[in-house]
A and B are shown apart, each in its own frame.
Chain A
Amino acid sequence: MSVISARNLSKTYRVFQKKEGFLGALRGLFFREYKEVRAVQDVSFDIEPGEIVAFLGPNGAGKTTTLKMLSGLIYPTSGQAVVLGHVPWERADAFRRRFSLVMGQKNQLWWDLPALDSFHLHREIYSIPRQQFERTVSELTELFGVQGLLRQPVRELSLGERMKMELIAALLHRPELLLLDEPTIGLDVVAQATIQRCLREYNRTRGVTMLLTSHYMRDVEALCSRVLIINHGRLIYDGALSGIVEQFGQTKVIKLRFADGVPPELGRFGEVQNGQGPAADLRVERGRVSEILSSILERYTVVDMSVQDPPLDQVIARVFQEGAQSDPSDSDADDAAEEQLGTNDDALTEDRPRT
């Protein structure tokens, strides 16, 4: 049975339109004007036990709203979801004991107390038997490499150490499903890599299912075999990471090295990138690769060449952008919705500086 099964999930917000100035505000008291914002439209997918799935999309695409529905924080306007056999927004205790939501920019731990005190509190909240608790804590602190830090007040830990403690706290009750919202935000490369390694290891040994959003392609590449891309509230891709380039990458990059230096008229074959000395990268349309290659080989002496796909994050950036250009009015609405939600809810807001 699927861990998450979402069917035609839709969420429409009614956003109150604030008027400018004092008179506008006064008018707003009596004549409220609302705008309907379709944050999520008809999203369906299934996630099987043990999968690690990335949830990608630009800011305001509807990732946040979908995660909120799956964790039971909000009701959908229409559609159904079954998570771990429960309807999430009924918020049954039995359901809440079986998953965790970790937010990269949110503290669950008590700031002035050592992490261990917060862990003990979690033990009570989730009614974890003491022996199991002791075992889990020692396993997880070893996995994350934070054995010596359990008794230090959380405020004295570094950002990376704190995030590791947050993850340990979230895993104490051995959830079957882990929802991660930007788990590595703001961390340096080393700490990011450690967290990726630990999550992968934990997934391998415990078989926990994970759904994560991230703006770091590095996270996605390290962890996820499957990717969901959402844009303007609609699911536009569901498949393997490698398939993204096949489906959306309309260009290829031909790396060339010439015997007599880069010919000046190379630009008529495609977009020249990094043309320095004898080497140049040429970006061309996918379908014309062989045609262009044979023309070049006919005319010039080529010492070395290779054909590559463009980097994944470039392809994804292009997917996000193209969506935005095709329907600009819609994107405004989404931003407005996300902004509106942001005031109520900074935890899952996606408007974050990319570091």
Chain B
Amino acid sequence: MIGKYLKIFRVSLTERLTYRADFFLATFLRFLPMITTILLWQAIYVGSGQDELNGYSYRMMIAYLLVIHISRMFSSMPGLAAGIARDIRDGNLKKYLLQPIDMHAYLLAYRGAHKVAYITTAALPYALLFYLCRGFFDGLPEPMVLAGYIASLLMSFLLGFFVEVCVGMVGFWTLEVTSVMYVVGAINYFVSGQMFPLDLLPEPWADVLKLLPFQYLAYFPAAVFVGRISGWELVHGLIAQAAWTVFFIGLARILYQAGLRRYSAFGG
């Protein structure tokens, strides 16, 4: 049974690699805003006259913002929710109803292939970027922390995938999914810690945001890498991330079943 999804993965990978030049260019373009970010934070630190903001030195802050890119490389799912909503609207959903195949598993295999193609082509430009920015880092974390970091990245892929699938399921109830996605995207940018580390916020805001699942899409793995989170805190974080992942897998399934009932009764 798993064989067919492996096959989908392989076929998708072949298809995706047709576009590797696109990936390559897009990756470089993504680095440009980094220059403004670095200059901005430099100005903030100089302006504040302090060496540390809430425990973040200038070097650590830039390291965090660089590593955020790696988190997003795993957890961001461009076009997934919109694609699902389009499939529902245009009737491509039929493919999953007519063939002996599961929509979520199919999309997961497809997206997994997409990510592998992207990450392998983007590896070279990223290596170059991190080499140029090596002054901001204290080298790699210790092996146990590194293992936790990798586990967290892999889970952030699954979590990001299923959160986005849940958003896409909204397409069963309304045609105006674009606005929902826009709002979710804007909030996510802030609450997942892509703008700045969550623990830079004053209490109780930092703790409130850390109760939400979104921190695992960007903040948590990056904070682990730069050494802000380790030991038991890391273990607890990984368990919570796994729990949220399972929660969203289940939620996506429930929404899909409910959506299909509606689709079958109303004809779309």
Contacts and interface: CB of A to CB of B under 8 A. Distances in A.
B95 interface: yes
A101 to B, nearest CB: 5
B18 interface: yes
A347 B265 contact: no
B267 A344 contact: yes
B99 A345 contact: no
B14 A113 contact: yes
19 contacts: A71-B98, A72-B97, A72-B98, A74-B265, A93-B100, A110-B11, A113-B14, A113-B15, A121-B11, A123-B7, A124-B6, A125-B7, A126-B100, A341-B267, A344-B88, A344-B267, A344-B268, A345-B90, A345-B267
A100 B99 CA distance: 8
A65 B95 contact: no
Nearest to B95: A108
A118 B267 CA distance: 28
Interface string A153-182: 000000000000000000000000000000
A97 B265 CA distance: 23
Interface string B87-131: 011111011011111000000000000000000000000000000
A11 B268 CA distance: 13
Interface in A90-131: 91, 93, 96-97, 100-101, 108, 110, 112-113, 117-118, 120-121, 123-127
Contacts of B6: 124
A68 interface: yes
Interface in B240-268: 263-268
Interface string B10-31: 0100110010000000000000
B92 to A, nearest CB: 8
B114 to A, nearest CB: 13
Interface in A24-73: 65, 68, 71-73
B49 interface: no
Interface in B64-106: 88-92, 94-95, 97-101
B134 interface: no
The 5 A-B pairs of least Cβ separation, nearest first, read: A344-B268, A345-B91, A124-B4, A124-B7, A93-B100
A101 B268 contact: no
A75 interface: yes
Interface of B: 3-4, 6-8, 11, 14-15, 18, 88-92, 94-95, 97-101, 175, 263-268
A210 interface: no
Interface residues of A, number: 37
Nearest to B92: A347
Nearest to B5: A124
Contacts of B4: 121, 124-125, 127
Instruction: Tell me the interface secondary structure of chain B in the complex.
Output: helix
Nearest to A100: B98
A90 to B, nearest CB: 11
A113 B11 contact: yes
A4 to B, nearest CB: 16
A255 B15 CA distance: 61
A73 B100 CA distance: 13
Contacts of A14: 266
Contact of A117 (B14, B94, B95, B266): B14
Contacts of A91: 97
Contacts of B265: 74-75
A346 B90 CA distance: 6
Contacts of A71: 98
B97 A124 contact: no
A124 B267 CA distance: 29
Contact of B7 (A65, A93, A120): A120
B15 A346 contact: no
A258 interface: no
Contacts of B99: 96, 125-126
A89 interface: yes
Contacts of B101: 125
A297 B215 CA distance: 95
B91 A348 contact: yes
A121 B11 CA distance: 7
Given A120-B11, A121-B7, A344 B264 contact: no
A293 B50 CA distance: 111
A124 B9 CA distance: 11
Interface string A289-309: 000000000000000000000
A13 interface: yes
Contacts of A247: none
Given A74-B264, A341-B267, 5 more contacts: A73-B98, A112-B18, A121-B4, A343-B89, A347-B92
A344 B3 CA distance: 32
Given A73-B264, A346-B90, A112 B98 contact: no
Contacts of B175: 343
Contacts of A13: 266-267
Nearest to A349: B91
A124 B88 contact: no
Contacts of B267: 11, 13, 65, 68, 73-74, 341, 344-345
B79 to A, nearest CB: 16
